[in-house]
């Protein structure tokens, strides 16, 4: 009886309120070991229509061409290479988790030298290595770019970035990353947005589903999960059931500001204490109107230019606005918009409110 009552109280404590947004655990956490691995390689793109690297300005391209030709049985040492149809590129890719040999992946190609465009090029066989220096994939194929470049005798046009392209399914996995998830006795769930409340809610939802205290949050970003006995050797089934559970994520009150672009993003939990705000713009206008003084033809004088400078200062008067304590995000935005100010001035006002101790939120400047 008491056990059922305790379980009921636990469920009620973590039930999301009406109208609250819930998310799947699958969208909130990453599972230890299930991740991508980054690969990188150096290669050559051939077949360019005169838009490749200038060999005099890109000595690494010349050396790569000579090394490749020697491996193919052609000696080019001491010769004057003047081709403009080859470009040296860096090749990058992400190796998906649990990729098997023969699996194809997309690769990205980026020019290193002074090539103008990779349009119509063909990437030659390029080994892709991981952080440990081992070759995990090999890339080759036709390069597709999103931009283009056209040039004439007196004008040119460039749209997008023609020196970056992709090779769809151009990489073939040659080495697998050894990892057996079904043999693990415990798992770690890493929160994508670390938060103490969210971690506790996820652990409680998992424990309620399994019916035993198997999940425990160890810090705001990590949940330690012991594999129940009935799921031993079948962790895939356990994760399939867990990732569909829904919880209400929590977040700190935060205001994100990008001063370069004037973008302001405020969370729903941002609150403001009682504060009065006034804002005024001071505009200074300086105009130059030089006046030319020219003598009469028979006076034998000199023409003199007299500077005329006019300075005018105008200050726009703004009323003092009062923002009440505990207002919501919508009321705060409406109050700032009522002052008739732009995003740039609004950034300065938010920072001033924070400095006054009236903004109950964290400000993050990008």
**Residue 258 domain-assigned?**
yes
**Residue 97 domain-assigned?**
yes
Question: What is the reported pLDDT for 324?
Answer: 60
**Residue 357 domain-assigned?**
yes
Q: Per-residue pLDDT for 12 more than 70?
A: no
* 132 φ, ψ (degrees, to nearest 5): -90, 0
Question: What's the chain's length in residues?
Answer: 366
- The confidence band for 16, taking pLDDT boundaries of 50, 70 and 90, is very low
Percent of the chain with pLDDT over 90: 31
- The confidence band for 287, taking pLDDT boundaries of 50, 70 and 90, is low
3-state DSSP of 274-337: CEEECCCCEEEEEEECCEEECCCCCCCCCCEEECCEEEEEEECCCCCEEECCCCCHHHHHHHHH
Is residue 363 within 8 Å of 351, Cβ to Cβ?
yes
What is the CA angle 303-307-311, rounded to 5? 165
Question: What is the reported pLDDT for 274?
Answer: 73
Count how many domains the chain has.
3
Q: Are residues 158 and 41 in the same domain?
A: yes
Average pLDDT value for residue range 232-255: 88
Question: What is the reported pLDDT for 146?
Answer: 82
Average pLDDT value for residue range 53-79: 86
Which residue stretches of 46-157 are H helix?
59-71
Q: Are residues 61 and 169 in the same domain?
A: yes
| Cα separation, 136 vs 138, whole angstroms | 7
- The confidence band for 293, taking pLDDT boundaries of 50, 70 and 90, is confident
Q: Which range has highest mean pLDDT (143-152, 180-189, 211-220)?
A: 211-220
Pairing of strands 135-142, 215-219: unpaired
Q: Per-residue pLDDT for 158 more than 90?
A: no
**Residue 11 domain-assigned?**
no
Lowest mean pLDDT among 51-55, 227-231, 292-296, 329-333: 329-333
- The confidence band for 323, taking pLDDT boundaries of 50, 70 and 90, is low
What is the H or E stretch that residue 89 is in?
Answer: strand 87-95
Question: What is the reported pLDDT for 353?
Answer: 79
Q: Are residues 105 and 154 in the same domain?
A: yes
For 109, counting Cβ atoms within 10 Å of its Cβ (0-12 exposed, 13-18 middle, 19+ buried), the class is: buried
Q: Higher pLDDT residue, 315 or 184?
A: 184
**Residue 128 domain-assigned?**
yes
| Cα separation, 78 vs 75, whole angstroms | 9
Q: Are residues 204 and 228 in the same domain?
A: yes
Q: Per-residue pLDDT for 154 more than 90?
A: no
**Residue 342 domain-assigned?**
yes
For 73, other C-beta atoms within 10 Å of its C-beta total: 6
| Cα separation, 160 vs 163, whole angstroms | 9
The mean of the pLDDT values for the chain is 81
Question: What is the reported pLDDT for 3?
Answer: 43
Domain enclosing residue 211, as ranges:
190-247
Q: Are residues 59 and 167 in the same domain?
A: yes
Question: What is the reported pLDDT for 321?
Answer: 57
Question: What is the reported pLDDT for 190?
Answer: 92
**Residue 181 domain-assigned?**
no
Q: Are residues 163 and 41 in the same domain?
A: yes
User: Which residues share a beta bridge with 219?
Assistant: 222
Q: Are residues 235 and 267 in the same domain?
A: no
- Among 215, 340, 209, 193, smallest CA distance to 281 is for 340
* 84 φ, ψ (degrees, to nearest 5): -125, 20
Q: Are residues 240 and 345 in the same domain?
A: no
Q: Are residues 152 and 81 in the same domain?
A: yes
**Residue 360 domain-assigned?**
yes
Question: What is the reported pLDDT for 83?
Answer: 85
């Amino acid at each position: 009886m008491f056990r059922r009552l305790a379980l009921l109280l636990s469920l009620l404590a973590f039930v999301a309120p009406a109208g609250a947004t819930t998310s799947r655990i699958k969208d909130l956490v990453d599972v230890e070991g299930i991740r991508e691995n980054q690969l990188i390689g150096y290669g050559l793109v051939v077949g360019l229509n005169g838009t490749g690297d200038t060999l005099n300005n890109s000595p690494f391209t010349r050396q790569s061409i000579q090394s490749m030709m020697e491996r193919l049985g052609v000696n080019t040492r001491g010769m004057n290479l003047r081709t403009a149809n080859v470009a040296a590129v860096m090749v990058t890719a992400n190796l998906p988790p649990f990729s098997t040999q023969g699996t194809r992946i997309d690769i990205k190609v980026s020019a290193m030298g002074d090539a103008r465009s990779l349009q119509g090029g063909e990437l030659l066989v390029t080994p892709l290595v991981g952080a440990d220096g081992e070759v995990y994939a090999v890339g080759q194929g036709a390069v597709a770019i999103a931009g283009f470049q056209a040039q004439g005798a007196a004008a040119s046009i460039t749209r997008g970035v023609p020196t970056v392209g992709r090779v769809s399914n151009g990489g073939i996995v040659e080495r697998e990353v050894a990892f057996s998830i079904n043999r693990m006795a415990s798992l770690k769930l890493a929160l994508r947005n670390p938060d103490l409340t969210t971690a506790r809610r996820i652990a409680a939802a998992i424990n309620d589903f399994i019916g035993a205290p198997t999940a425990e949050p160890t810090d705001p970003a990590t949940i330690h999960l012991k594999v129940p006995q009935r799921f031993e050797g079948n962790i895939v089934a356990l994760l399939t059931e867990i990732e569909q559970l829904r919880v209400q994520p929590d977040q700190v009150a935060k205001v994100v500001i990008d001063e370069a672009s004037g973008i302001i993003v405020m969370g729903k939990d941002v609150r403001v204490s009682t504060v009065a705000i006034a804002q005024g713009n001071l505009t200074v206008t300086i105009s130059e109107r030089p006046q030319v003084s020219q003598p009469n033809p028979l006076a034998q004088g000199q023409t003199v230019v007299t500077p005329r400078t006019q300075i005018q200062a105008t200050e726009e008067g703004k009323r003092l606005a009062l923002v009440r304590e505990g207002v919501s995000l919508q009321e705060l935005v409406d109050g700032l918009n009522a002052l008739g100010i732009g995003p740039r001035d609004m950034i300065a006002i938010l920072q001033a409110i924070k400095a006054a101790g009236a903004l109950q939120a964290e400000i993050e400047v990008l």
